[in-house]
């Protein structure tokens, strides 16, 4: 997969690149330098450690998603940290609602387990445990950060984990379309409820209302974006994929000699030669300068919709899809064709 623009790769875990967006690095630098300018180097160090802890726990949260997806044998293309948290790009197959539930739950579970462990080490501070707790310190900070991260992400609002957990439960009981619609409506109601809390804070002159309102507005905008994507997907499901592929009339098996395949491809005018191996069409031969390049193919059924093709492209960097009907390749669907259809629909 091509590297995302404006990101820096930190490391690779379980074959998945873990990246940080430049804006997060800029935020950490500005926060640390600003604290140093106002309070000296000790305050800068304290702020740097606090932000480092916070996003360290965000990273552990995303690793929970990643490892659960790997355990369920579901591909993960990347993990990204940015100022509003983290994002794990999971290539979830359609209909895997149980897997969606488990993967979404794994992130908050990591934070709540850390909070529980910190509580066992005396992390609940005085004033929150009937006066019996320890003074604020390292374990108290771990307890509070992870409790807030876990609880916030369990709110039933898209794109938070709680919204995806809710959607997966509703989809298992009501079907994907009805479950998603209901989850989106509940998410919008939840975001409006958070906005109502912000209004209450403003009425009581609580300066934290500004942060609450910002969170509410962001969540509401995200639920609207999810709703637009869902309605677009509904429309694309009504468009058959069959009229759009470039026809493929010639295919070969895996015993073909490369010189013969090169001549065949040069004369037939096709963008590739599908290669059959053990009854499967998993690879193709593509022109590459004066030779041929073999690469894996993604397949879409010729009876499916444009929505299925778009879902494949949204989860990969493939230039096209092999369209198959009744076990035989019938065409090549280029990414540009599907992107044009999606843009026209939007």
Give the largest Cα separation in the chain, rounded: 84
**Does residue 154 contact residue 160 with C-beta atoms inside 8 Å?**
yes
Protein fold of 246-345: CBS-domain (3.10.580)
> What are the helix (H) ranges across the chain?
22-39, 41-71, 97-120, 138-153, 161-174, 176-203, 209-236, 258-268, 306-314, 335-345
Parse the chain into domains and list their residue ranges.
7-236, 246-345
Distances (CA, A) of 233 to 53, 173, 342: 39, 21, 9
Cα 234 to Cα 126: distance, rounded to the nearest angstrom = 53
Q: Give average pLDDT by consecutive 10-residue segment, the chain, 346 residues.
A: 63 83 76 71 73 83 92 86 81 84 93 85 57 60 84 87 92 89 91 91 84 87 87 84 86 85 85 86 84 85 85 78 88 87 72
36 pairs with which residues across the strands?
A: none
Which structure tokens are listed for 276? 């059959």
In the block, tokens 């509410």 appear at 216
Cβ–Cβ < 8 Å for 315, 291:
no
Q: Please tell me the total number of residues recorded for the chain in this structure.
A: 346
Q: How far is the C-alpha of 63 from the C-alpha of 18, rounded, in Å?
A: 9
Q: Given phi > 0 = left and psi -120 to 50 = alpha, else beta, which region is 88?
A: beta
Rounded to whole angstroms, the Cα distance separating 182 from 185 reads 5
Tell whether pTM > 0.75: no
Cα first-last separation, the chain: 26
> How far are the Cα atoms of 68, 158, 299 from residue 74, in angstroms, in the given order?
9, 21, 17
């Amino acid at each position: 997969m091509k590297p995302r623009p404006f990101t820096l790769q930190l490391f690779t875990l379980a074959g998945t690149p873990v990246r940080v967006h430049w804006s997060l690095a800029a935020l950490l630098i500005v926060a640390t330098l600003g604290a140093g300018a106002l309070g000296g180097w000790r305050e800068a160090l304290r702020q740097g450690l606090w932000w480092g802890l916070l996003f360290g726990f965000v990273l552990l949260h995303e690793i929970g998603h990643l490892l659960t997806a790997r355990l369920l044998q579901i591909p993960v293309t990347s993990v990204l940290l940015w100022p509003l948290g983290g994002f794990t790009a999971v290539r979830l197959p359609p209909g895997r609602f149980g897997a969606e539930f488990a993967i979404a739950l794994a992130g908050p579970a990591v934070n709540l387990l850390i909070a529980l462990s910190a509580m066992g080490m005396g992390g609940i501070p005085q004033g929150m445990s009937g006066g019996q707790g320890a003074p604020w310190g390292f374990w108290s900070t771990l307890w509070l950060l992870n409790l807030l991260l876990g609880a916030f992400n369990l709110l039933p609002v898209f794109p938070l984990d709680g919204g995806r957990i809710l959607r997966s439960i509703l989809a298992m009981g009501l079907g994907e379309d009805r479950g998603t619609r209901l989850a989106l409506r509940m998410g919008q109601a939840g975001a409006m409820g958070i906005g109502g809390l912000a209004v209450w804070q403003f009425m009581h002159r609580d300066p934290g209302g500004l942060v609450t309102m910002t969170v509410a507005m962001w969540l509401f905008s995200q639920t609207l974006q999810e709703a637009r994507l869902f309605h677009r997907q509904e429309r694309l499901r009504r468009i058959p994929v069959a009229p759009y592929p470039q026809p493929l009339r010639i295919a070969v098996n895996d015993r073909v000699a490369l010189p013969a395949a090169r001549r065949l491809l040069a004369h037939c005018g096709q963008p590739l030669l599908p290669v059959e191996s053990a009854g499967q069409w998993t690879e193709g031969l593509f022109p590459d300068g004066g030779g041929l390049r073999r690469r894996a193919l993604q397949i879409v059924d010729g009876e499916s919709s444009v929505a299925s093709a778009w879902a494949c492209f949204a989860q990969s960097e493939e230039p096209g899809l092999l369209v198959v009907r009744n076990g035989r390749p019938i065409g090549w669907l280029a990414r540009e064709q599907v992107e044009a259809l999606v843009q026209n629909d939007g």
